[in-house]
Chains A and B, each alone.
Chain A
Amino acid sequence: MSWTLIFVLAGGVALQRLVGMFAGGAVLARVPVFARLAALIPAAVVAAVIVQLTFASGKSLQVDPRLAGMVVAGVLVWKKAPIVLVILSAAVVTALLRLIGG
């Protein structure tokens, strides 16, 4: 990966963020229903990222110790446990199941 490619990749990522902030945001602000939509977008997009990080292995879906870690994290989030406990528990459960599973 050359220096040029690093900056081209970075430029494309930055441009999308700016387009979202200025163009996308302006459209969302113009119509009241879009303002409600804007408030719900993070829940939908972040949930999709969670699904991808929990189940995806390349282009296939698989159930592995990550899911157990996320179930524990989900219960702790529901119980309003401190965030450090949530993420450490997810890591420990995932690591232990991998250890047991060899």
Chain B
Amino acid sequence: MTNQRTKARPDWGLLLGIGFTFVTLGVTVSVLVLERVGSESKTVVAAIVVNSATSQLAYLAVRDVGGGILAALAAGWIVASRFGLLAAGLSSRLEVGRWHRALIGLQSFDPNVGVAIQQRDPRDVVRVFWMVTAAMHIGWVSGTFVGVFLGNVIGDSQRFGLDAVFPALLLAVIGNLLRQRPGMVAALVGGVLCAALIPIAPAGLPIIISVFGAVVALKVRPAGASQ
């Protein structure tokens, strides 16, 4: 048998890092959500069914400043639109049935799509996607429980620099993409656009518009590409 393929092996360091990051994220977000909704059960259920820290925080941020329910829902939905973009980006790499595709769509998040899309074999795309998703969920749910039931003991999580953990993880996730010229240009343009728009655009919109970074990067040839 010469055409046997080697399955992508679990990168335990990566999975551990992602799991740890999502524990810290779960703790941080659940403390903030619990303060505002005042119910442990709602905090845990919201973490699991909304499945988006930024959507929950955007909803609560609008309510905090006196915004109406519709405005708060809109903010929560807008910041989640990046997941739709990420799912669209991953879609063409999937060779799975409709229901499996739907499940992957529902779990599309920055780290799992970012890691999965870098796999060459379509079967590895799916395999790695679910490995990273499992690490994320184990961390997210356990972190949520820790935040809900031990949040008072932990206190202000920013004291421990935990707000730097998630962006650092994301940087590591796209590290390989940044080593290629088109990926670097997409990230730079997307990042600069986002920074320029944060002060003037509604929450979530700067991230949607950052997609133009990918459009600009289409013009860039990968290093070593033939003319």
Contact = CB atoms under 8 A, between A and B. Distances in A.
Q: Does A associate with B in a complex? A: yes
Interface of A: 1, 3, 5-10, 12-14, 16-29, 33, 35-56, 59-61, 65-66, 69-70, 73-74, 77-78, 80, 82-84, 86-87, 89-96, 98-99
Interface of B: 13-14, 16-18, 20-21, 24, 36-37, 42, 45-46, 49-52, 55-56, 59-60, 63, 69, 73, 76-77, 80-94, 101-102, 104-108, 110, 113-114, 117, 158-175, 177-178, 182-184, 186-195, 198-199, 203, 206-207, 210-215, 217-218
Closest A-B pairs by Cβ, 9 of them: A25-B91, A24-B88, A21-B105, A20-B84, A44-B190, A48-B210, A44-B213, A94-B161, A95-B161
Quick one: which of A5, A19, A55 has the most chain B CB within 10 A? Answer: A5
A13 B77 contact: yes
Contacts of A35: 92
Main secondary structure on chain B at its contact with chain A?
A: helix
Nearest to A27: B88
Contact of B50 (A3, A13, A89): A13
A19 B81 CA distance: 10
Contacts of A8: 73
Given A1-B37, A28-B92, A53 B167 contact: yes
A26 B161 contact: no
B50 A9 contact: yes
Given A84-B13, A84-B17, A9 B76 contact: yes
Contacts of B163: 53, 66, 94
A28 B91 contact: yes
Contacts of A22: 91, 101-102, 105
A86 B172 contact: yes
A44 to B, nearest CB: 3
A91 B164 contact: yes
A26 to B, nearest CB: 7
Given A29-B91, A43-B174, A70 B80 contact: no
Contact of A41 (B69, B81, B85, B191): B85
